[in-house]
Amino acid sequence: MNGISIIIPTYNEEKAILDTIRELHETMKASGIPYQIIIVNDCSKDKTREILESNGGGEGLGVTLVHHDLNRGYGASIKTGSKYAQFDVLCITDSDGTYPNARIPDLYADMKGHDMVVGARIGKNVHIPWLRRAPKAFINGLASYVSEVRIPDLNSGLRVFTKELFDRYYRLYPNGFSLTSTITLAALTNGYAVKYVKIDYFKREGSSKIRPIKDTMNFVMLILRMCVLFNPLRIFIPLSLILLFLGAGILVWGLTAVGKFYDGTFIMLSLSAIQFFCMGLIADAISRKE
């Protein structure tokens, strides 16, 4: 490891962006770690671009500054930023003041022997709205089941990882907020060494871009897609067993309690169970060809 490229996706952060840049410069200079800061302005509608340009632009602020002409999303901004990275270790963080960027040197130091170090938002000072806590717990639990690894924070936006890991699964990353969840599941289900470090999470400046219902559904669908792609038997085998036992239960209940032989229902559920099992085997075989 010879340095770190810090990518900051930015959208409508006129109140916090300059403070974030100053904090990062102070932190990284004090650490002595060679670094690069990449700001990707995702076509902000407020004065973010004007503020960045009026303060000297990329050269004046000591950053690599990239502007999107259209709003393409959080994940797309990170993918854009990765193309400008000068170092083989990448870091992502937010520009709204929620993550403790002073911990970046610690996360970087923990990269020895690991492919990714994630700042898990389970520290003493964590400000996550109650409305988002239940969906977050459910998503983390589902992802942990799929990956067979306990995941304390699936989609933390403060993490450090190798460029090799990021580039390997580049084609899978969505343009939205699910990029962090995708790289987490891709790494864990493919044997990469991932470490979680407790961090705090502060109240953000400005309004959140998260859409609780829509984004939660997107996260669930993403996890299921990643399961089919990387660990399909974790979904298909349980589904097969549920259908098989359901069919057997209906058969026994019909013969003992009702006195009817529900042969059609039993056969349909049994065949469905066999189909799901076979689909799981096929998906598993395909996933192992990579």
At residue 142 the predicted structure's pLDDT band, cuts being 50, 70 and 90, is confident
4-230 fold = Spore Coat Polysaccharide Biosynthesis Protein SpsA; Chain A (3.90.550)
The pLDDT value recorded for residue 121 is: 94
pLDDT value, residue 254: 79
* Span 107-135, average pLDDT: 86
DSSP of the chain: ---EEEEEEESS-TTTHHHHHHHHHHHHHHHT--EEEEEEE---SSSHHHHHHHTTHHHHHTSEEEE-SS---HHHHHHHHHTT--SSEEEE--SSS-S-GGGHHHHHHTTTT-SEEEEES-SSSB---HHHHHHHHHHHHHHHHHHTS--S-TT-S-EEEEHHHHHHTGGG--SSTTHHHHHHHHHHTTT--EEEEE--BPPPSS-----HHHHHHHHHHHHHHHHHHH-THHHHHHHHHHHHHHHHHHHHHIIIII----HHHHHHHHHHHHHHHHHHHHHHHHHTT-
pLDDT range class, residue 4, cuts 50, 70, 90 = very high
Evaluate whether 133 touches 201 at the Cβ level (below 8 Å).
Answer: no
What is the average per-residue pLDDT within 85-106? 96
The per-residue b/e assignment along 187-214, b for 16 or more CB within 10 angstroms, e otherwise, is: bbbbebebebbebbbeebbeeebeeeee
Q: Which two tokens stand for residue 97?
A: 């003041």
Share of the chain above pLDDT 90, in %: 58
Q: pTM for the full model?
A: 0.81
Provide the angle, in degrees to the nearest 10, between the axes of the packed helices 179-188 and 130-147.
30
∠ CA 168-96-204, rounded to 5°: 120
Split at pLDDT 50, 70, 90, the class of 64 is very high
Q: How confident is the model at residue 206 (pLDDT cuts 50, 70, 90)?
A: low
Taking residues 74-79, what's their average pLDDT? 97
pLDDT-based confidence at 256, cuts 50/70/90?
confident
Pairing of strands 194-198, 4-10: unpaired
pLDDT > 90? residue 85: yes
The sign of the torsion formed by the CA atoms of 57, 63, 64, 69 equals negative
pLDDT confidence of residue 213: 64
Domain coordinates of the chain in residue numbers?
4-230, 233-287
How confident is the model at residue 235, as a pLDDT? Answer: 85
Report the share of the chain in percent with pLDDT over 70: 90
Question: What is the pLDDT at residue 104?
Answer: 98
C-alpha to C-alpha distance for 157 and 121, rounded to whole angstroms: 10
Q: Is the pLDDT of residue 60 over 70?
A: yes
Residue 286 has what pLDDT?
A: 73
pLDDT band, very low/low/confident/very high, at 143 (cuts 50, 70, 90):
confident
Between residues 237 and 287, which one has the greater pLDDT? 237
Place of tokens 């705090």: 200
Note the pLDDT of residue 130: 65
Distance CA 286, CA 41 (A): 38
For residue 231, what are its two tokens?
């660990």
